[in-house]
Structure 1
Amino acid sequence: MADKLPEDIIQSVAIGNLKSISEQPAMLSNLAYSNTVNNTNLSQQNAVSFQQAMNDLTLSVVAKASNTISNLTPLEARSAVDILSNNELAQTIADLKSTVQAFAN
């Protein structure tokens, strides 16, 4: 039995194996926590990116609406005034109704 390893070497290898096995749950727990933190970080980055995209879209919609309102041609401006303040359409409809009733009697 000259090939037999000394007892202190066998014991140190066994202790080293036990140490690495006993540290494994802590390392796995740290890895899981790291993955959770990373996923939360990516989720927050996506939320901020989506919010910025919505802000850009809102800005462009408001700019387009403002441009449409402020750049009216004279004909469009007059038409808007007639529709909002003058009741010519209602008067024309009433005239047509009265004409139809006159011929019906």
Structure 2
Amino acid sequence: MALPEDIIQSVAIGNLKSISEQPAMLSNLAYSNTVTNTNLSQQNAVSFQQSMNDLTLAVTAKATNTVSNLTPQEARSAVDILSNNELAQTIADLKATLKAFNS
């Protein structure tokens, strides 16, 4: 029993259509995967940037807190280191004393 010619022809056309559309469908799938991967990499970059911003903020806050909350002893030590020269002050006092006695 033979199949009618129009059925054979419609099956052949259907197969040809499926085969001819396959490269376009695979191309669309590859493009979709590329877009998804690019999107994920951009999300990772933004997440990393936000993490670095948070870390920078924490370090800056800690440094500011350390500088602004000095104990009296730490504050005096900083002043002594930056501005106090006891030897120079002693020499100036001795010169002033000698000058006072000479006058």
Query: TM-score normalized by structure 2?
Result: 0.82
Q: Distance in 2 between matches of 1:76 and 1:87?
A: 17
The letter for the 1-side match of 2:36 is N
Where does residue 37 of structure 2 map in the other structure? 39
Counterpart AA for 1:29? S
Q: Secondary structure at the match of 1:40?
A: helix
Partner-residue secondary structure (3-state), 1:35:
helix
Q: Which amino acid aligns with 1:82?
A: D
4+ residue segments displaced more than 6 Å: none
Point out where structure 2 has 5 or more consecutive residues left out of the alignment.
88-103
Counterpart code for 2:10 = S
Residue 37 of structure 2 aligns to a residue whose secondary structure is helix
Tell me which amino acid in the other structure corresponds to 1:10. I
1:12 correspondence with 2:10:
yes
Q: Partners of 1:50 and 1:17 in 2: how far apart? A: 49
Q: Unmatched 5+ residue regions in structure 1?
A: 92-105
Instruction: State the 1:87 CA deviation.
Output: 3.2
Cα deviations by residue, 1:37-64 (Å, 9 ceiling, x for unpaired): 0000000000000011001001100110
Output the CA distance in 2 between the equivalents of 1:85 and 1:22. 86
| Structure of higher RCO (CA pairs closer than 8 Å, 6+ residues apart) | 1
1:5 is paired with a residue whose SS is: coil
1:4 partner SS: coil
How far off its partner does 1:86 sit?
1.8
